[in-house]
Structures are given as C-alpha cells and as structure tokens.
Structure 1
Amino acid sequence: MDILKFNFLSVVLITILHQGHGQVQLNTNGAITAVLGNNTYQLTCTHSGLTESQIQLLSLKLVKDGVHLVVIPPFSFSGANVTVNATMSSRMSVVRFTANNPTTTVTFQFTKCGDEGTYTWVGFYYDPTSGASQVSQTQDITVKALPGFEPVDSVLSYTPNTNIAVGDKVTFTCSGDVGNNPVGVLAWFYFREGEVTPVDESSNAVSTAPQVSRKCSRSRSSTLELTLTRDMYNMVVRCTVQQDRRTSDGEGHVQKSIIDVMCK
C-alpha cells in the first residue's frame, strides 16, 4: 500500500511540475511606435509561472539582430550587475525585476532610426523536470518620423515668375521632407488678398511617390497649375505637409506643418 501511495504521489508531483513548466511565460507591453528624436519610450517584460526558487535563478536578456542589448543575471550571482551594451548605455536605462516585482523595464531616452525592428526577450531558468530551460517573447518597435525632422531642404517655386498676367497658367512646384509611418502628403492652398480663408487646391495637384530622403524619413514633390484670374491679384500660395496621426484612444487627426515660406 505504501509503495502504491508513493508511486501515485510521484506521478501527481511530476505532472504538476510539468504543467508548471508549460505555464512559464514572458509578457511584454506590446508593439511600440517611437517618435524619432528627443523622445523616450519603454519596453517592459513581465515573467509569470515561476516558483520563488526559480525566480532566484532567473536570468533575462534583451536581444536584437543577434546582439545582446541587456543582460540581467540571477539574484543568486553575488555582485553580478545588469549589463547594457556599450553602444546603448548612454541612452538606455534598466530597472530589473525583483522578488516582489516581476516586471523589467528598459527605457530609451532618445529615439534613433536603428531602433526600429524586432526585439526578443529571453528568460533562462531551472525546471526540476526538464533541467535548464528557457522561454522567449518578441516585441516590435516602429520608428515614426515627423515631417521636417530630417534636414531636407524644402523648396517652393513657380514658373513663369515674371510678367504674369490674367489668364496665364502658372505651375507651382513644392518638395520637402514628409516624414514616415505614415508617409505624409503635400497639400496646396492659396489665399486671396485680404481673405483669411484659403482655397484648397490639393485635389488638383500631382505628387510623386515617396522617396527615401534619409534612413527614417521620406521626401516628396508636388506640382500645381493655376490659371490666374483678377481676384488672384497678390495672392499667397502655400504648400504644407499633412500626416495622419493616431492618439492613444484611437481617434485620428491631421498634423499640418508648413514646409516652406509663402510665395506671392
């Protein structure tokens, strides 16, 4: 009877340990869209399903493109400190998990183009059934460039630009940086003398496909042809960038950014 009871308890124990191994997880704060430039963002990783003794032996790594960005040793390693890749240490800080807090937070103090990509969190722990084990979770970062961030000269010109008379056709050309994620569009407006409400001519313009201007951003050119009338005397023509943006609650709105001076 004692042998049967021992065998039964052994089977139950092994089953429980095996199930515990299958429940070990790493969870992140999901896909991140970071804004290029002097803007911060955070990656978080929360472990679950580990016993207290397993947490003491847990080590964690953050890896991108095969490069270890962050290495967090187990608590049991006396004197072992969190290691941050030398190329990232000036703009990255790490708050590691503790016995009472399962979340590790990595904060980027400045966003660069090269931050875009897939990051992998890898946890190493000891399982009584399987021995040395690991679990992983990926996290994607998208870098958003706002219009005008990249140092691409904006140009607004028109031809002919002398001896213009009523009835003449004038071609306006605009080009400049329109950002990325999403790529912005160029919009056209003109203001008649003494009026504050512009006439929107965007639908009559012809724009090129977005071109790579820098690693993170795109540039575009657009042309607009207007036939001059008497009420266009001393008008002001404006070319702007319009880039759709999303707020945290999902509502959409448009950011407008003038990329060139007004042209009379």
Structure 2
Amino acid sequence: MEYSKTLIFSLVICVFIINGIESITVQIQATPSEGILGQTSLQLKCSYTTVTEYVTGVNIQTKINGQFKNIATFNTPSVPFNATLTTDGNYLTNRVTLTNPTSSSTDSALIQFSQIACEDENEYMCEVAYAGSGGSTSASSGVETITVKGNPELPDSVPSYVPSAGIEEGNNVVFTCTGNVGKPQGKFRWVRYRYDSNDDTQETPYESETTTAVQMPGTCTFNGTSQLTLKMEQLDNNAVVRCQVVYQDVPQEKLYHQTQGINVYYSVRNVQVTKFPPIHHLLKEQDP
C-alpha cells in the first residue's frame, strides 16, 4: 500500500493519506502570547481535529538545548490516566494545571499557567499520536512562541549625588540612579525642577542620558544605572532632581525618586549700601 503525506507548516500541519482520504489537523496556540513575570494567567492549547483517525495521546513540547522535547503528556478518554509532566517538564511543577482531551476525534490538551517564570519564554510544539489506516503514527503542529515580560520597579533609592555637600555655583555635580528597569529593558529619564527669578517653577527634562543595564542574577529583568552631570548655577539653589523609569517608551508616572532641595552656594550680586537716616554730616561724640 502506498501512502502520500503533505505537511503544511504554520501553526497548522495537515496530513493527508490518499488511501481513504484520512486527515488530521493539529495546531497550538498561547493565549496571550506574552506572559508577565509572577502571578499571571496564560493558557497553552493544543487542538486537533480528525476524520477517521483515532487519537491515542498528545505531547506538548518545548525547545531544550536546541531540540524539541516533551514537557507534558496527555491521554484521551480511552486511557484513564491523568496528564503528567515529563522529566524535562519538571520545571513547571506547582505552576501549571494540565487538562486531558475529552474526545478522541475533536478536542484539545491544555497547559494552564498560574505563574510565569523566565524559562517559560520559549518555542512550543504539539505532537498528536493516532491510529490510522496505515497503523500508528503522529502529526505535529507548527511552532508557537511565548515571550515573557517583567514589569519595572521603583528606583532603588533617592538619586545620590557627588559632591553631596558644600556645592558651589560652577561646580559639576554627578547624580546617579539605579533600579529594576524591567524586561524588555527600560531606561531612566531625568528631570530638574528649580525656581526662576520670578519664583516660577522651571522643569527641564534630560531624555538622552544613557542607562546601562545588566540582567539580574536569577531573573530575566534588567538592573539599570544612569548618571546625570549638571553644572550648578545660582538658580539651582533648592532645586530638585528626579529620576524616573521609562518602560516601553512610556514614562512611568509613579516610578520615580527625587532629591530634597539642593543647597548651592553662590556669590552675592547687585550689592547696594544705604545709609539711614540720610544725614550728610555726622557729629563726633564728645568725650565726657
């Protein structure tokens, strides 16, 4: 007996067997396809539809060391066993719920995530084992990708600055800000607030200062560091300097720390001397 199989890859792969025109459709989908680190719900669903084939089992796979390996095994109603994680899937323990298909012809196997971790960012496939006119075989889905994001946090502390005291007009002061800027990597922006000669507040943003980031050990989020150098002026006396997180190009309204008013010493200007009372001649006090 001669068989002809056509594999169409995207998220769907169809297998057509000319003898009897048997077909099976398999697809995998993550909803949503982006997970947020922590207590976040995400569902990975392997669906299949058959005409005459009898499905005997389902495996969901992920790429490990460059190869797709089974992480969860599911059974159809004809096999009365619970779905289980494989050895390669043990990293999912206590973070997922597995649900078996309820039909051997049209149904789905589910991995329901209750907590997202960095290692969940990966490629996934689904393999369906079935019995057809040619005996036992399997069909696979295309590849689905899950990406993982991590929300940024407040900067670690109020921006530090050097020198921290005795600042004089004309001094260069270096401000430093550090903290978790999330995943994908965010950045810090700086804003200086000071009063002009009319006691109106001036706001000066500094958007182009570099944020250097490194991935934090044990996580996939980034710890950022940014510095701002300002040459202090008279108007910087009592100025406030703010460090704010920008994540995915959006300034995060509540994620900032700022300094207290900065003392800046400056020379006296426009000195005027007056005499009171305006007497042109002063009498020398007589000795008693």
TM-score (norm. length: structure 2): 0.69
Alignment of 1:221 with 2:218, yes or no, is: no
Alignment-derived partner of residue 273 in structure 2: none
Identify the structure with the greater helix proportion: 1
| CA shift digits 1:174-213 (9 cap, x unpaired) | 2222111x2101110122257677321223x2433x2222
Alignment-derived partner of residue 76 in structure 1: 78
Larger of the two Rg values belongs to structure: 2
Identify the structure with the greater strand proportion: 2
How much identity, in percent, do the aligned residues show? 24
Alignment partner of 2:235: what SS? Answer: helix
Alignment-derived partner of residue 53 in structure 2: 54
> When the two structures are aligned, how many residues end up with a matched partner?
232
Alignment of 1:34 with 2:35, yes or no, is: yes
Cα shift at 1:88: 2.7
Cα shift at 1:258: 2.6
Alignment-derived partner of residue 171 in structure 1: 174
Return 5+ residue gaps in structure 1 as ranges: 1-13, 246-252
Alignment-derived partner of residue 157 in structure 1: 160
Amino acid of the structure 2 residue aligned with 1:59: G
Q: Does the aligned pair in 1 maintain the 2:243–2:256 contact within 8 Å?
A: yes
Moved over 6 A (4+): 194-197
Residues 101 and 126 of structure 1: is their aligned pair in 2 closer, same or farther, counting only changes over 3 Å? Answer: closer
Cα shift at 1:244: 0.8
* Residue from 124, 138, 152 that aligns with 1:119: 124
TM-score (norm. length: structure 1): 0.75
Alignment-derived partner of residue 104 in structure 1: 109
Residues 87 and 222 of structure 1: is their aligned pair in 2 closer, same or farther, counting only changes over 3 Å? Answer: closer
Alignment-derived partner of residue 192 in structure 1: 194
Cα shift at 1:47: 0.9
Amino acid of the structure 2 residue aligned with 1:156: P
Amino acid of the structure 2 residue aligned with 1:15: I
Alignment-derived partner of residue 141 in structure 1: 146
Q: Does the aligned pair in 2 maintain the 1:155–1:176 contact within 8 Å?
A: no
| CA shift digits 1:206-253 (9 cap, x unpaired) | 433x222233011222111112223322111111111117xxxxxxx5
Relative to structure 2, which stretch is displaced further, 169-178 or 30-39? Answer: 30-39
Amino acid of the structure 2 residue aligned with 1:81: N
Cα shift at 1:153: 4.5
